[in-house]
């Protein structure tokens, strides 16, 4: 959900100019109406508190197909990651997510003198990663957590989870990872888990993550890659194939990271998942 003030932070998908909201608010959140570009008059709907901020004709290829799956199985996603996935790759959800978050170097942010900071989660899903960040934010710091996703089902589940857990200051809306509607250099951390292998154009989405990150910011990405394939048995190979049916070559997309990014590193966080991290250079 977003407030009118949050709109100052989002730019027009067509001309990158500022936006206005026309419609009704509920408890200061945009509720029903339209978000309109002040310059080019393009508009996007807000329905039941959710901004639909993408151009349908640009949602292409695997993104379209995967959206149907995520919408259909939204409620099952997080329970499956918690209970079924560990039976396939022999690691608990907590263990592999914790290994992932080590690379985001949040403690450096918490230790810095800066009081306020912003994190962007590309593909927030049902919000499972909020639990790995929000409880660790020191009281003296103010975190603005932004999350975008392309699936209404996943975001609706996320909304319920946020309300249930009482998390505050989470700004989420529907948007496409290939077109991040934010200004350049505005996030202190940018991360993504679990979908880039199915993106229509991973290189474009990585370019976008780099663009919106501040210089020196760690950008951390995880998705499926079979670790040490020679030592995986038939069951593991079959499970991996099942999980990545949409991807001909599941791998860490290091080829999409521009050469001027520093500290490019790939580590396995389970037999099925890689964690790729790098820093945005000046």
What is each CA distance from 156 to 48, 71, 194, in whole angstroms?
10, 10, 18
Strand 43-47, strand 142-149: pairing: unpaired
In this chain, which stretch among 13-21, 70-78, 115-123, 150-158 interacts with Zn ion, using CB under 5 A? Answer: 13-21
Query: Of 14, 58, 141, 263, which one interacts with Zn ion (CB under 5 A)?
Result: 14
Binding flag, residue 63, ligand SAM (CB under 6 A): yes
Query: Of 10, 19, 119, 195, which one interacts with ligand SAM (CB under 6 A)?
Result: 195
In this chain, which stretch among 7-15, 218-226, 235-243, 272-280 interacts with Zn ion, using CB under 5 A? Answer: 7-15
Which x/- pattern over 124-163 shows residues binding ligand SAM (rule: CB under 6 A)?
Answer: -x--xx------------------xxxx--x---------
Shortest reach from residue 225's CB to ligand SAM, in Å:
14
d(CA 165, CA 186): 27
Structure tokens at 247: 């991807």
DSSP letter for 214, please: P
272 contact partners, CB below 8 Å, separation of at least 6: 85, 88, 89, 224, 225, 226, 227, 239, 240, 243
d(CA 128, CA 225): 21
Nearest residue (CB) to Zn ion, 40 versus 68: 40
Which x/- pattern over 90-129 shows residues binding ligand SAM (rule: CB under 6 A)?
Answer: ---------------------------------x-x--xx
21-60 binders of ligand SAM (CB under 6 A): none
Binding flag, residue 18, Zn ion (CB under 5 A): no
CB of 188 within 8 A of CB of 214? yes
d(CA 81, CA 58): 29
């Amino acid at each position: 959900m977003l407030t009118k003030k949050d709109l100052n932070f989002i730019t027009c998908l067509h001309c990158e100019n500022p936006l206005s909201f026309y419609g009704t608010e509920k408890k200061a959140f945009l509720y029903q109406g339209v978000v309109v570009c002040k310059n080019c008059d393009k508009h996007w709907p807000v329905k039941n508190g959710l901004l639909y901020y993408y151009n349908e004709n640009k949602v292409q290829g695997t993104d379209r197909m995967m959206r149907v799956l995520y919408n259909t199985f939204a409620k099952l996603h997080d329970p499956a990651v918690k209970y079924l996935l560990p039976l396939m790759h022999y690691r608990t959800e907590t263990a592999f997510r914790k290994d992932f978050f080590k690379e985001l170097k949040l403690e450096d942010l918490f230790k810095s003198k800066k009081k306020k900071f912003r994190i962007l989660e590309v593909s927030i899903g049902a919000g499972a990663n909020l639990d790995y960040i929000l409880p660790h934010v020191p009281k003296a710091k103010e975190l603005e957590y932004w999350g975008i996703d392309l699936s209404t089902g996943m975001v609706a589940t996320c909304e319920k989870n946020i309300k249930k857990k009482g998390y505050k200051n989470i700004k989420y809306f529907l948007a496409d990872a290939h077109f991040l509607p934010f200004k350049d250099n505005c996030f202190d951390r940018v991360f993504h888990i679990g979908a880039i292998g199915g993106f229509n154009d991973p290189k474009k989405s990585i370019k976008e993550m780099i663009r919106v990150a501040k210089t020196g910011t760690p950008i951390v990405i995880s998705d499926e890659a079979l670790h040490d394939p020679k030592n995986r048995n038939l069951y593991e190979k079959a499970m991996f194939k099942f999980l990545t049916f949409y991807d001909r070559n599941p791998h860490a997309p290091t080829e999409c990271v521009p050469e001027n990014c520093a500290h490019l590193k790939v580590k396995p966080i389970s037999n099925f998942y890689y964690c790729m991290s790098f820093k945005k250079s000046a």
